[in-house]
Amino acid sequence: MKVFTVVGARPQFIKAAVVSRAFAEHTSNIHEILVHTGQHYDANMSDVFFDELNIPHPDYNLGIGGGTHGQNTGRMLEKLEELMSKEKPDWVLVYGDTDSTLAGALAAAKLHIPVAHVEAGLRSFNRRMPEEINRIVTDHVSTLLFAPTSTALRNLKDEGFSDAKVRVVGDVMCDAAKYYGARAKIPSWFANLGFSEGQFVLCTIHRAENTDNPEKLANIFRGLEASECNVILPLHPRTKKKMEDMKLTFPRNVFVVEPVGYLEMVWLESNCDLICTDSGGVQKEAYFHGKRCVTLRDETEWVELVDGGFNTIVGDDPLMIEEALKTNTILSFDSPLYGDGESAAKMVNILVSGRYN
């Protein structure tokens, strides 16, 4: 069986690495072609990134990125169609909700190649987000939908999907947290900050809805400052540029550091007091590492985290941010919201077995 995997951003490589290991460990003869669209340039994605995390290097790197959503998706479609016609895979595997996800799914569907969508059924119900459109369209052109949660399954059923197309397998990021947690690496600069493990908030800010709006960005930092917590902020290039353009400054209690590698990020997530973020993936990683999350958005696709009290939605309201960061809540992270850490093996078994319609 030949599988054509399409990824375009660092988080997708982490997810794909878990599934690639499951392909390699399966008794069947599975040949995977890994394609990086180049959608997100990441300086941390050097040879060290692939070697440290035991991630297969891409078979193809299309180098497409930096344009608008329409430009990127169109260019990817053209190149991916060409490669799929050449490789003639049995399946095309796509992850999440990026432009790369959509382009991979559309190219395969037009060539009548079965598509499997990992993280199917997620909905924020905010169609102003490009990611929401990508999720919906990808689900509707896919052959097989790997849903991470019962909430995702319910969303798909509400949209009319039959049970035959959907499999609830858990979340591959739970697999990743389980695998990489033991390999976490303390950043070299941490000892110089003057505080210890458990005495800081880990914060990430990168979404356009926050970084492109001077008022929102200023409000977020106002809330962080008012909390008086030690805040470590690995500074995303987008956020850095916008802060400079808007002539905004960082509060004294926000310790700005360069973007970190994945294993360093895992260490920070595991050793912080709590996490404050506008990232979808980091919200889940907070849960996997037993940390409460404060989300700098007005909604989330991970609604079960909010329902369980693990995630607090604060938007850019300074008072809500301050209160959420100061709140000391004891939570139990024992319930398996996202599966048992064996999602990748389940997906591979389903693909190999042929038990789907």
Which residue numbers are catalytic? 206
**Contact, 115 vs 144, CB < 8 A?**
yes
Report how far residue 67's alpha carbon sits from residue 41's, in angstroms, rounded to the nearest whole number: 12
Closest CA to 177 of 55, 57, 338: 338
Closest CA to 274 of 317, 340, 227: 227
Which residue's structure tokens are 């914060």?
Answer: 203
Report how far residue 202's alpha carbon sits from residue 274's, in angstroms, rounded to the nearest whole number: 7
Is residue 97 helix, strand or coil?
Answer: coil
Is residue 312 helix, strand or coil?
Answer: strand
The DSSP code for 165 is G
The DSSP code for 317 is -
Q: Please give the sequence-ordered ranges of beta strands (E in DSSP) within 30-102, or none if there are none.
A: 31-36, 60-61, 91-95
∠ CA 315-279-299, nearest 5°, is: 40
What's the first-to-final CA gap in the chain, in angstroms?
Answer: 17
Crossing angle of helices 172-180 and 343-353, rounded to 10°: 130
